[in-house]
A and B are shown apart, each in its own frame.
Chain A
Amino acid sequence: MVNENLVKGVVKEPYKYGFVTDIETEKIAKGLNEDVIRLISRKKEEPKYLLDFRLKAFKKWQKMKEPDWAGLGYKQIDYQDIIYYSAPKQKEKISSLDEVDPKLLETFDKLGIPLTEQKKLTNVAVDAVFDSVSIATTFREELAEHGVIFCSISEAVKNHSDLIEKYLGTVVPASDNYFAALNSAVFSDGSFVYIPKGVTCPMDLSSYFRINSGDSGQFERTLIIAEESSSVSYLEGCTAPMFDTNTLHAAVVELIALDDASIKYSTVQNWYAGDEEGIGGIFNFVTKRGKCLGKRSKISWSQVETGSAITWKYPSCLLLGEESVGEFYSVALTNNLQQADTGTKMIHIGPKTKSTIVSKGISAGNSKNSYRGLVKMGTKAKGSRNYSQCDSMLIGDQASANTFPYIKSQQPNSEIEHEASTCRISEDQLFYLQSRGIEFEEAVSMMVSGFCRDVFNQLPMEFAAEADKLLALKLEGSVG
């Protein structure tokens, strides 16, 4: 318990990405039916197989029930009250960045993601997604020299249709779950990455997702394919304006790693979380899954989840290839009335597969933060191993933390290790740091970063510093 007087003077930093870009958009009418799906598909000039994929998914979705097993408390979503396609109006065909609406460039500038040739980040290629469409992708020519394809998924549908047809929906089938089915029916844009055989991607790839419009959902879809002996590091960032209504974000991410390939997927999620009373904020219901198809392939998820009113996601690995490796490193921070139910599934199918789970949950305010994970050893997963560590930190005495580890083993010759702990930032610890001249806020943030160190060490450099700052910002004024 921490003295409230200590924190009263602390100014709470407002959500700095909460602005709205005033731009003319092309929106379709609210509601969802077959015609809407046909309309989206037509707008994107999609081939027939994709329209069929969407319609099949929609049929499945209609028969499914919204899941409630996570015990998350939220107002029923009215799926007919959502706009399923919203795009900033711009010229039909954009051949260079100069033709992109300056307002859009300015928006990404403000978010710290400059896209123009002069200002673009030098070491990272960026795909910028605004509501339902991808605005621009930087460094395309440079990447193309290495045979790397990095573009919006809509473009990939046009130019690399064979790859899309071969892989889309193979990791997360449309019938997987309610929100995956919805996404499969209405997905608008997202990123596509293809790393050819033997290529180490020369720079980090990143997508930046921006929700701008208040009444439309965002349903992006990402597909990453790493061919034999290739490797790539992919980063994902997300922000949204402050609205007093809830916006639905239901994304699907599919990763495929072939023999000896490795994919590192890092997320810093900072969607608008709603205000202190829990009004507004993003519902972040996401399905992320990677398939280690090849021998000795590796998929590593790292995530820093700080935003959204509700986060509901379990980046998972299907470990099929012999000696393939799955990793999950997660920091989930909740404050005020935020709810997070996140974790991973490590499905060991092939022999000698290995997985590591390190999850750090921090709950402050009146928030609810749960780790939920499954480790499964299949009958053929002989000699496979898992190590899980799930730690929770409570700040204040109104927050809650839960851990739900599910373990299923059908293979006696495999090892599963699980460690869990819960701690609380105590008044004595804070006083100790303060009595050494360290400011209250810095003391809290030192302890929180210390708690998260194992995960931050896994993040790409620039992300780690960003994550550290973000956490400190989120916690301002929360210790009371």
Chain B
Amino acid sequence: MQSQMKESDPILEVENLSASTDNLPILKGVSLTVYPGEIHAIMGRNGCGKSTLSKIIAGHPSYNITNGDIKFLGENINSLEPEERAQSGIFLGFQYPIEIPGVSNLEFLRVSTNARRKFLNKEELDTFDFEELVKEKLEIVKMDHAFLSRSVNQGFSGGEKKRNEILQMALLEPKIAILDETDSGLDIDALRIVASGIKKISNEQTGIILITHYQRLLDEIEPNFVHVMSDGQIIKTGESDLALELEKKGYEWTDNFIKET
């Protein structure tokens, strides 16, 4: 399976990446390569650097890259603005989607979709055409049309916020989606909806990185690779059974790997 995928070029290459915030090192040499069609899971204790890794790939301004490179479709993106990364096809699903009072969700989705379409040299959509498109995508996450007229994420329940993230992913059709604990705070039904949404949106051309603590998401979306992070490093990589083992033995089990390395 692996060799077959690697006939194409990688979507994302993280090479020996180190990064800090306020002079505090968070990432200490992370390497990760994602090929089209691959699903990677990243697991690890809170504070191990999982979310930081996802934010740095998306271009969060609070972090400084101190060493290493991030390449997207072969190009170094270390110095690109977050919006440039998003337009070119990098998507970050937030662990805690941000509330933006006063900005209508519909308008936000439309402006954002058009920014991506402009990059792809596709025609930008007016409000009517966008309505059509968004209706279709709402189906994927089983969201009610009423969500669109509310302010972005404001007053949304935890599950609604996460579904709104997947709706954005569906509209933006990214090359790679990094989903940061998209499963946290979801009940079983919502988890299924979100998982099936992710599966519908992704295909052989896209890559997915799932950051999660729980096996239950990985039961729905089976990863090709599972990485375990600890203290800013990937300390072990395996296939989907690694997650099962981790679930059984807990993160304490992984402490031994640190000693090994």
In-complex Cβ contact of A434 among B82, B91, B94, B101 (8 A): B82
Is A23 engaged at the interface, CB distance under 8 Å to the other chain?
no
Q: Which residues of A contact B86 (CB under 8 A)?
A: 434-437
Nearest-Cβ distance from residue B179 to partner chain A, whole angstroms: 13
Q: Which residues of B contact A449 (CB under 8 A)?
A: 102
Pick out which of these stretches binds chain B: A80-88, A134-142, A439-447.
Answer: A439-447
Nearest-Cβ distance from residue B253 to partner chain A, whole angstroms: 34
Q: Which residues of A contact B60 (CB under 8 A)?
A: 431
User: CA of A431 to CA of B60 in the docked complex: distance in angstroms?
Assistant: 7
User: CA of A38 to CA of B98 in the docked complex: distance in angstroms?
Assistant: 63
Q: Are B116 and A437 in contact (CB under 8 A)?
A: yes
Q: Are B82 and A442 in contact (CB under 8 A)?
A: no
Within 8 A of A (CB), among B54-84: 58-62, 81-83
User: CA of A439 to CA of B61 in the docked complex: distance in angstroms?
Assistant: 14
Nearest-Cβ distance from residue B148 to partner chain A, whole angstroms: 15
Q: Are A3 and B119 in contact (CB under 8 A)?
A: no
Is A451 engaged at the interface, CB distance under 8 Å to the other chain?
yes
Q: Are A439 and B102 in contact (CB under 8 A)?
A: no
Q: Are B62 and A434 in contact (CB under 8 A)?
A: no
In-complex Cβ contact of A446 among B82, B97, B111, B168 (8 A): B111
Q: Are B98 and A437 in contact (CB under 8 A)?
A: no
Q: Which residues of A contact B182 (CB under 8 A)?
A: none
User: CA of A5 to CA of B62 in the docked complex: distance in angstroms?
Assistant: 11
Q: Are A437 and B172 in contact (CB under 8 A)?
A: yes
Q: Which residues of A contact B103 (CB under 8 A)?
A: 446-447, 450
Q: Are A434 and B102 in contact (CB under 8 A)?
A: no
Q: Are A436 and B61 in contact (CB under 8 A)?
A: no
Is B115 engaged at the interface, CB distance under 8 Å to the other chain?
yes
Is B92 engaged at the interface, CB distance under 8 Å to the other chain?
yes
Closest partner residue, chain A, to B115 (CB atom): A437
Pick out which of these stretches binds chain B: A229-237, A264-272, A336-344, A422-430.
Answer: A422-430
Is A79 engaged at the interface, CB distance under 8 Å to the other chain?
no
User: CA of A436 to CA of B112 in the docked complex: distance in angstroms?
Assistant: 5
Q: Are A6 and B115 in contact (CB under 8 A)?
A: no
Q: Which residues of B contact A5 (CB under 8 A)?
A: 61
Q: Which residues of B contact A435 (CB under 8 A)?
A: 58-59, 82-83, 85-86, 91-92, 94
Closest partner residue, chain A, to B87 (CB atom): A437
User: CA of A260 to CA of B115 in the docked complex: distance in angstroms?
Assistant: 49
20 A-B residue pairs with CB within 8 Å:
A427-B61, A427-B62, A432-B97, A432-B100, A434-B86, A435-B82, A435-B92, A436-B86, A437-B86, A437-B87, A438-B83, A438-B112, A438-B115, A439-B83, A439-B115, A442-B111, A447-B102, A450-B101, A452-B102, A453-B102
Name A's B-contacting residues (CB within 8 A): 2-3, 5-6, 423, 426-429, 431-440, 442, 446-447, 449-453
Q: Besides A442-B111, A446-B108, 4 other CB < 8 A contacts? A: A3-B61, A436-B108, A440-B81, A446-B111
